[in-house]
Amino acid sequence: MRPVSHTAQWTAAARALESERTDALFQDPHARPLAGRHGFDLLEQHPAGGLVDFVAIRTHYLDRAIEAACRDGEVRQVALVACGLDTRAFRLPWPRDAVVYELDHGDLLDAKQERLDELSAEPAVRRVPVAVDLAQDWEPALLDAGFDPRAPVLWVPEALLFFLERPEVERLLRRFRAVSAPGSVLAVDILGEWALRNPAAQGFFREMRESGTAWRFGTDDPEGLLEDSGWKPVEVLQPGEPGGGEQRWPYQVQPRAKPYVPRNFLVTASC
């Protein structure tokens, strides 16, 4: 699989560890076998303070965003963008008429399906894998898979934006908006700009570059990024704030106005 699949295995391993806690924020029974031994080796090779906790909080936040969009709105299409080894189609409660599109590279989707077949895993919703290269025109493949641009959609590009350059981030968000009907939602995590400059994290970022999965983008103004891309911010949280894993984040939440603080943001937006 492509190098980014290593990130998918790392994330699956982090989700497995969370699922095995007595106070777990979610249960992902397929995470450990999907991660494989390599996923846990990656956790040991690339330690980063608070990152495993953030994966748990982010997963829980996006789980709730999906459930809320399907429960409280008209959303019945969910697009998991760069889905990796995500198993939400298997573990979340879904409306009977919902459909989940999983977008990622074909080789990763094929390898994921092989592992799911070995587990005899059955999705709880209509699940449609869509092989795409997000650097190219991915919309035709999504439309061919049955996506309806006239109906609201929830976009979930989890753990994706920080791998891109800023122009690529802006272009991707605008492309989401261009095929989103009124009532559509975007739920995403956004890295803070200073987090990329944090001297204490440079060893981790060097290891990421050397593994071919460099982190490139961050902003301390997620609201501005979204508005410039055609989205209306609805909620922007830092981990540890109410609704953002306040019982689990191991660090003190710093005011947004305080400079030189490494941050992550959990964001919901609408159109």
Q: How many residues in total does the chain contain?
A: 271
Among 3.40.50.150, 3.40.50.620, 3.40.190.10, 3.20.20.140, what is the CATH number of 49-270?
3.40.50.150
pLDDT band at 48; cut points 50, 70, 90? low
| Segments making up each domain of the chain, as ranges | 49-270
pLDDT value of residue 81: 98
pLDDT average, residue stretch 244-252? 91
102 touches 80 (CB < 8 A): yes
Three-class secondary structure of residue 268 per DSSP: strand
Give every CB contact of residue 195 below 8 A, 6+ residues apart in sequence: 201, 218, 262, 263, 264
How many Å apart are CA 226 and CA 224, to the nearest integer?
Answer: 5
Burial of 188 (0-12, 13-18, 19+ CB in 10 A): buried
Looking at every residue in the chain, the average pLDDT score rounds to 93
pLDDT band at 1; cut points 50, 70, 90? very low
Amino acid at 188: V
pLDDT average, residue stretch 64-84? 95
Question: Any idea what DSSP says for residue 241?
Answer: S
